Structure 1
Amino acid sequence: MADKIPGWLTREQARLLHDEALRLPPGATMLEIGSHQGRSTVVLGQVARAGGGTVIAIDPFVEGRLFGGTPTRTKFLRHLEEADVVDVVRHVEDYSTRARPGWDEGFDYLYIDGKHDFWTFSDDLRWRSFLPRGASVLVHDAYSSIGVTLGILVRVLFARDLTYVRREGSMALFRTARPRLADRVRIVREVPWWLRNVGIKVLLRLRLRPVARLVGHDSPYDPY
């Protein structure tokens, strides 16, 4: 179902979202920041439907060419209907940074794929205060976006309540648990891979795709 929806979530990343959601108890609530056309929302919604849970999808659907605005919102809602998950998805049409200060509901799972600048991502990480210990925190474009990666190095590397588990492509999986030194070191070890991805983005902008192939990127799209 998700394959039919446009977006930048790979099949392997969708599997990681799905499998982590399956770890949740029946009736659990998942919170997603950034829904676009619903590619990831549908994946989480299917798990929620099977387990009697709920997905809270936060996306303001900002107008403009970059974000899509009302047309993207229309597609998002249509895709939820086609996947038969409308009744398990609660859409919060607001900025995550504006919704959080007045939020008072706990949830069990956090997926961050909102605005990729350092300041917004840093604020989105603060949603983890509503999670129980040991909960999954998944971050898309963790090691392909400059703003998000800097946020991880500044806000996560020295945090006392987030442990880096692994990544699938550029999607990183963390848990709300006290990290060991080895966990922090593994975050630092991802930096060369991130620098490679930034370099590939520069090459693609310069239309130097043949050069990008030399480092293993045989695609016209940015690395995700």
Structure 2
Amino acid sequence: MQHRAAPGFQAAWEVADRIPGWLTEAQARLLWETAEEVPDGGLLLEIGSHQGRSTVVLGALARERDARVVAVDPFVDGRLFGGRPTREKFERHLAEAGLTPTVELLADYSTRARPSWSRPLDHLYIDGKHDYWTLSDDLRWTRHLRDRGPVLVHDCFSSIGVTLGILVHVLFSGRLRYERRAGSLALFRVGRPSLRDRARILGELPWWIRNVAVKVLLRLRLRPVARVLFGHRGPYDPY
């Protein structure tokens, strides 16, 4: 089926970039490029939405395809996640972008929503809780994707829990192939991996070790050391 021309990434990014979050422009562009593969009327699923920075990027393209985005986020109360106030910001940002009709919020834990899910997916973006157990479960959403369907994992090579989950469940799996990354956002595809695909995952491990070292130095309030040793200049974790 022929796709109608989308208005372009830059217009979507100008809106998304005003929303607080950790998605970089290069990562947003990778989300956009893979979402362009979604057929008219397709379905994209995002795990972890926060205030909607990535949701707006995905939603802007989905709107042009008469597709839909399902945003899965429990909006847990507490200092780290923000709870109800964060959900209100998320909904306001979608409304300001004109994307409320395009995005369906599933306010639940991804691990709790997954067992009863039955709808086929065309695009999967994982940016949920960054521990090994949650990432391991989130990878099980891939069973709803078509062959060569894109699977994008944020903080893939900058989080201990996420990287361990990838090493255990993807490196030796016969189902996902590693393609490339933009910063810590990694692109996998449903399909049988070759030895070269597996080697590319192992090739990212030095970069992951570097990122873990930076995180340790930041926790120890040794930012100048992180800058000298690793060229990390910002106050935030590498992402």
The TM tier, using the shorter chain, reads: over 0.9
Match of 2:144 in 1: 130
Deviation at 1:38, TM superposition (A): 0.3
Match of 1:117 in 2: 131
Match of 1:78 in 2: 92
Match of 1:140 among 154, 164, 184: 154
Match of 1:91 in 2: 105
Between the aligned partners of 2:39 and 2:112, the Cα distance in structure 1 is: 29
Letter in 1 for 2:238: P
Deviation at 1:197, TM superposition (A): 0.3
Unaligned runs of 5+ in 2: 1-14
Match of 1:222 in 2: 237
Deviation at 1:128, TM superposition (A): 0.3
Single out whichever of 17-26 and 164-173 deviates more from structure 2.
17-26
- What pairs up with 1:38-77 in 2 under 5 angstroms? 38-77=52-91
Deviation at 1:48, TM superposition (A): 0.5
Between the aligned partners of 1:176 and 1:3, the Cα distance in structure 2 is: 30
CA-based RMSD = 0.6
Deviation at 1:216, TM superposition (A): 1.2
- What pairs up with 1:22-41 in 2 under 5 angstroms? 22-41=36-55
Between the aligned partners of 1:91 and 1:25, the Cα distance in structure 2 is: 21
Unaligned runs of 5+ in 1: none
Deviation at 1:218, TM superposition (A): 1.0
Aligned to 2:94, what secondary structure does the other structure show?
A: helix
Letter in 1 for 2:231: G
2:29 corresponds to 1:15: yes
Deviation at 1:4, TM superposition (A): 0.5
Deviation at 1:99, TM superposition (A): 0.5
- Alignment length, in residue pairs? 224
Between the aligned partners of 2:117 and 2:66, the Cα distance in structure 1 is: 22
Single out whichever of 22-31 and 160-169 deviates more from structure 2.
22-31
- Give the fraction of aligned pairs with identical amino acids, expressed as a percent: 65
Between the aligned partners of 1:95 and 1:56, the Cα distance in structure 2 is: 13
- What pairs up with 1:193-204 in 2 under 5 angstroms? 193-204=207-218
Deviation at 1:211, TM superposition (A): 1.0
Aligned to 2:44, what secondary structure does the other structure show?
A: strand
Letter in 2 for 1:219: G
Return the TM-score normalized by structure 2: 0.93
Letter in 1 for 2:173: A
Query: Where in structure 1 do 4 or more consecutive aligned residues deviate above 4 Å?
Result: none
Aligned to 1:148, what secondary structure does the other structure show?
A: helix
Aligned to 2:70, what secondary structure does the other structure show?
A: strand
Between the aligned partners of 1:2 and 1:209, the Cα distance in structure 2 is: 29
Between the aligned partners of 2:134 and 2:227, the Cα distance in structure 1 is: 32
Deviation at 1:209, TM superposition (A): 1.1
Letter in 1 for 2:130: H
Match of 2:16 in 1: 2
